[in-house]
Amino acid sequence: MEEIQTSSPCSWQPRRLRRRPRANTTDETNGGAPCTAHQPLQANEAASQGTVPELPEDALQHIHSLMTMRDAARAACVSHRFLFFWRRYPNLAFNQESLAVTRQPFLLSQDRGKYVFSKAQHVLENHSGVGVKMLKLNLSTCSKKDIDINLLDGWLRAFIKPGITELAVLLPKCYELEYNFPSSLMSCDEAGSSLTSI
């Protein structure tokens, strides 16, 4: 598509796009008949137009689950189908690397722990809690005032369910003796039996 730019010295205006004429306007698979708008897009055409090809839901969900958490979140921002899968994303890991804390230009070093906790809070409160296989919370960079223990307990209660295989919670040293892990979650036979790593 060719871009038509309108210049205005005082204000920004969105670019308008004009469609280029196609070289071949006939469909070879349809006996040379002209292409019509109601015909489905082929997979390579769909990809070139920025749409998600029509694949079965379970295949798309599997593809989404193989993405890194950051890429899965980005895909959810541009696709309603991936947004649905994001709310069921199975591998949740919150740490400075996965949240790209060091790449935040205006984030002071003393605010990094608060940033990690707030991002974890935002994602976990919008997650359905269904299908989680791994939950890793590295809050070791947080200060005592950054962590809401009631929220943390609520997250653990919501996400330790049958099917979860890996759980890791790293807290700052100031919580070593103070925090009591809700052991009642492990007494549930179904939830505790699927955990392979704590």
Tens-place pLDDT, residues 118-139: 888 888 888 888 888 999 988 8
Q: How many CB atoms lie within 10 A of CB 92?
A: 20
What whole-number distance in Å separates Cα of residue 173 and Cα of residue 140?
A: 7
Residues 84 and 56 reside in one and the same domain: yes
- Answer whether residue 109 is part of any domain: yes
Residue-wise pLDDT for 142-181, tens only, equals 888 888 888 888 888 888 888 888 888 888 888 877 788 7
- Answer whether residue 18 is part of any domain: no
The CB-based long-range contact list for 60-67 (8 Å cut-off, 24+ gap) reads: 60/85, 61/85, 61/88, 64/89, 65/89, 65/90, 65/91
Q: What is the pLDDT of residue 1?
A: 46
Given 88, 118, 151, which residue is the final one in a domain? 88
Residues 166 and 99 reside in one and the same domain: yes
Q: What is the pLDDT of residue 2?
A: 45
Q: Which domain holds residue 178?
A: 90-198
Residues 132 and 190 reside in one and the same domain: yes
Number of domains in the chain: 2
Q: What number of CA atoms fall less than 13 Å from residue 21's CA on the CB side?
A: 3
Given 48, 64, 88, which residue is the final one in a domain? 88
**Rounded mean pLDDT of 104-114?**
80
**Residue among 91, 49, 53, 88 at smallest CA distance from 70:** 91
Per-residue CA distances from 128 to 76, 82, 124, 155 (Å):
14, 14, 8, 11
Residues 72 and 98 reside in one and the same domain: no
Residues 94 and 84 reside in one and the same domain: no
Query: pTM here?
Result: 0.64
Residues in the chain, total: 198
Residue 23 CB partners (closer than 8 Å, separation 6+): none
pLDDT at 38 over 70: no
Q: What is the pLDDT of residue 109?
A: 77
Query: Which residue has better confidence, 11 or 18?
Result: 18
Residue-wise pLDDT for 58-85, tens only, equals 888 898 889 988 899 888 898 888 888 8
Residues 95 and 78 reside in one and the same domain: no
